[in-house]
Chains A and B, each alone.
Chain A
Amino acid sequence: MQYKSQAVAKPYFIAAIALFAGQILFGLIMGLQYVVGDFLFPAIPFNVARMVHTNLLIVWLLFGFMGGAYYLIPEETETELYSPKLALALFWIFLVAGALTIVGYLAVPYATLAQITGNDILETMGREFLEQPLITKIGIVVVALAFLFNISMTVLKGRKTAISLVLLMGLWGLAVMFLFSFYNPDNLVLDKFYWWWVVHLWVEGVWELILGALLAFVLIKVTGVDREVIEKWLYVIITLTLVTGIIGTGHHYFWIGTPGYWQWWGSIFSALEPIPFFAMTVFAFNMVNRRRREHPNKAATLWALGTGVMAFLGAGVWGFLHTLAPVNYYTHGTQITAAHGHMAFYGAYAMVVLCIISYAMPVLRGRAANPNKSQVLEMWSFWLMTVSMVFITLFLTAAGILQVWLQRFSDAPQAFMQVQDQVSLFYWMREWAGVVFLIGLIAYIASFFVKGEQETVAA
């Protein structure tokens, strides 16, 4: 570890992995509820499980981003963090607030939670992914601002690299766009229009800047390729991201009451959104091929390559599949969307966080790389999780195509639940693929505890 204050990243990474495990458990519960409808009802109704599943995802990724930033920024700026104490305090605040929110979801009916947390003061709850109580939302803003203050002050006093600036822009963008979660007008169309300013402009906008910066950082470290080259690529990738992704928001404005011209803007620009992901894949492979050193951390390199490929497949290819308006007319809000969502989130964001953890965690534990045995297990977990996610996506896609055919496209469209019954085979297969994912996750966690012949080399 080059800078002492990088150590604050460690609890963030540990929390991220723990919450990730929680997310997967609730995913398995939901997957089972798809086929055994009354499983755990009424203790954990589907909507509660889903809220926990998606909110844990968001929170663990945020922990990963913040941990990644705390690790990366001192090294990039060549200076200690502005305030490591603030970073640790924020960690506990965020963890406790997050845990209390999840407990709230599980312990009381959602309407009660809304009432006791002041939703009547400002109604922001009950919208997909933004289900958090008002106090949690305010907490997120406070934590985000204090975090950004800490990071920005560090960058201001240190070296300003392209990687740290891009990361900073992504993080600031994340915080600023989140403010739209406080705007919830009675007008459903307006509500949905600006809801996407949080959701889309996060995952298909500013988060990709964070993704690009984290990936570029790891690639510099593991390949030893010249910074000039890597940072040039980074700028090209994020240019492509924002040029396609901002107007690409229009692919959510096809059927929610917004003007018809969005079908053109949205289709054309979002059809180009795979390009930055493709560039990212080419970038990762290119840099690894041109490597000037053999970094002992093979697992981190694998995660870096995997992120490029899976982000391209999940966000790029599976996004393109249903993004053109004439196609989306039939697929909107079906299992096709779910299929895309799963592989995109895993491939782009889960994997990049696992990538930075894979690179940084050994260093935080006082070695350049984990012992070989541990890396082998980590690579097994990579393949188990990644391949099972591919199958989850394929099964959901199959279910989605059948759903579209039976419920939307047919001359004699059938009712929703009638169709769900007919595609249950695919839900069962998705659930089994999910079990394999869990096994992969267990192997991943176990890899941290594998001991072996150690080289305690300072990074």
Chain B
Amino acid sequence: MSGTFTKSMARNVFYGGTVFFILLFLALTFDSMQTLPKRDNRQALTEQVAHGKKLWETNNCIGCHTLLGEGAYFAPELGNVYVRRGPDFIKAWIKSQPTGTPGRRQMPQFNFSDEELDALVAFLKYSSEIDTNNWPPNVEG
């Protein structure tokens, strides 16, 4: 950077470049919002699913698990657990925690009612039907 490229030129490039890319990002966001209804499985968003999502959040499931690959990496991916395990297994699994096996990773007991378990399963079913561009690569997540 020689004397011909001055600080005020650098500043102008910064402002110009930033504004341009913010606008481009907003345009792409706008387009995404138009496309999402075809991909995000919103037609399956029932009150039960919303309740399930709330339970998912208020029990901090993301603190151990990933959901569509985001979260903690301590426990299995759950975005496709509905496909991998099915509803009955999921409910039985949650109810039987913690396993208490010495030395094994432990999942807390959340004391969900049957209605809450159904809501969680509904949320996980809805999540599994989002169009994720074929992610994860296989059913193991």
A188 touches B103 (CB 8 A): no
Indicate with 1 or 0, residue by residue over A247-265, a CB within 8 angstroms of chain B CB atoms: 1011001111111111101
A51 touches B63 (CB 8 A): yes
A41 touches B137 (CB 8 A): no
B73 touches A338 (CB 8 A): yes
Report the Cα distance A36→B101, complex, angstroms. 11
A243 touches B1 (CB 8 A): no
Indicate with 1 or 0, residue by residue over B8-25, a CB within 8 angstroms of chain A CB atoms: 001101100110011011
B53 touches A38 (CB 8 A): no
Report the Cα distance A127→B31, complex, angstroms. 25
**Shortest Cβ gap from B121 to chain A (Å):** 15
A235 touches B14 (CB 8 A): yes
Interface-lining segment among A67-75, A78-86, A327-335: A327-335
Q: Is B6 an interface residue when CB atoms closer than 8 A count as contact?
A: yes
**Shortest Cβ gap from B105 to chain A (Å):** 3
Q: Is B50 an interface residue when CB atoms closer than 8 A count as contact?
A: yes
Tell me whether A187 and B104 are in contact in the complex, defined as CB-CB below 8 angstroms, given that A242-B17, A260-B133 are known contacts. Answer: no
Q: Is A458 an interface residue when CB atoms closer than 8 A count as contact?
A: no
**Shortest Cβ gap from B29 to chain A (Å):** 8
Give the interface residue-count category, chain B. 35 or more
- By a CB distance below 8 angstroms, the chain B residues around A127 are 57, 62
Report the Cα distance A242→B18, complex, angstroms. 6
B60 touches A231 (CB 8 A): no
Indicate with 1 or 0, residue by residue over B91-126, a CB within 8 angstroms of chain A CB atoms: 000000010111111101010000000000000001
- By a CB distance below 8 angstroms, the chain A residues around B64 are 45-47, 50
Tell me whether A235 and B7 are in contact in the complex, defined as CB-CB below 8 angstroms, given that A50-B72, A187-B45 are known contacts. Answer: yes
Residue with the greatest number of chain A CB neighbours at <10 A, chosen from B32, B98, B102, B131: B32
- By a CB distance below 8 angstroms, the chain A residues around B133 are 254-255, 260, 263
The count of chain A contact residues (Cβ–Cβ below 8 Å) is 78
Q: Is A190 an interface residue when CB atoms closer than 8 A count as contact?
A: yes
Report the Cα distance A16→B104, complex, angstroms. 34
- By a CB distance below 8 angstroms, the chain B residues around A190 are 36, 40
Selected contact of A128 from candidates B6, B72, B104, CB within 8 Å: B72
Selected contact of B25 from candidates A34, A249, A330, CB within 8 Å: A249
**Shortest Cβ gap from B76 to chain A (Å):** 4
A246 touches B22 (CB 8 A): yes
Indicate with 1 or 0, residue by residue over B34-53, a CB within 8 angstroms of chain A CB atoms: 01100111100100011001
Interface-lining segment among A21-29, A93-101, A409-417: A409-417
A193 touches B69 (CB 8 A): no
B50 touches A162 (CB 8 A): no
Q: How many A-B residue pairs have CB under 8 A?
A: 222
- By a CB distance below 8 angstroms, the chain B residues around A239 are 10, 13-14, 17-18
**Shortest Cβ gap from A87 to chain B (Å):** 29
The closest CB in chain B to the CB of A407 belongs to B140
Q: Is A228 an interface residue when CB atoms closer than 8 A count as contact?
A: yes
- By a CB distance below 8 angstroms, the chain B residues around A249 are 25
B60 touches A110 (CB 8 A): yes
Tell me which residues from 355 to 377 in chain A have a Cβ below 8 Å from any Cβ of chain B. Answer: none
Report the Cα distance A408→B138, complex, angstroms. 7
Q: Is A142 an interface residue when CB atoms closer than 8 A count as contact?
A: no
Selected contact of A256 from candidates B58, B68, B101, B104, CB within 8 Å: B68
Tell me which residues from 81 to 132 in chain A have a Cβ below 8 Å from any Cβ of chain B. Answer: 109-111, 114-115, 119, 123, 125-128, 131
Selected contact of B105 from candidates A37, A189, A235, A253, CB within 8 Å: A37
A45 touches B106 (CB 8 A): yes
A332 touches B135 (CB 8 A): yes
A126 touches B57 (CB 8 A): yes
The closest CB in chain B to the CB of A250 belongs to B28
- By a CB distance below 8 angstroms, the chain A residues around B66 are 333
Q: Is B75 an interface residue when CB atoms closer than 8 A count as contact?
A: yes
- By a CB distance below 8 angstroms, the chain B residues around A186 are 45, 49-50, 53
Report the Cα distance A71→B4, complex, angstroms. 33
- By a CB distance below 8 angstroms, the chain B residues around A232 are 1, 5-7, 10
Could you list some 5 contacts between A and B, CB below 8 A? A45-B64, A110-B59, A188-B130, A189-B41, A239-B10
**A-B pairs, 7 with minimum CB distance:** A47-B63, A126-B57, A333-B69, A37-B105, A255-B135, A235-B10, A189-B40
Residues of A within 8 A of B (CB): 30, 33-34, 36-38, 41-42, 45-48, 50-51, 109-111, 114-115, 119, 123, 125-128, 131, 162, 184, 186-190, 192-193, 228, 231-233, 235-236, 238-239, 242-243, 246-247, 249-250, 253-263, 265, 329-330, 332-335, 337-338, 407-409, 413-417, 420
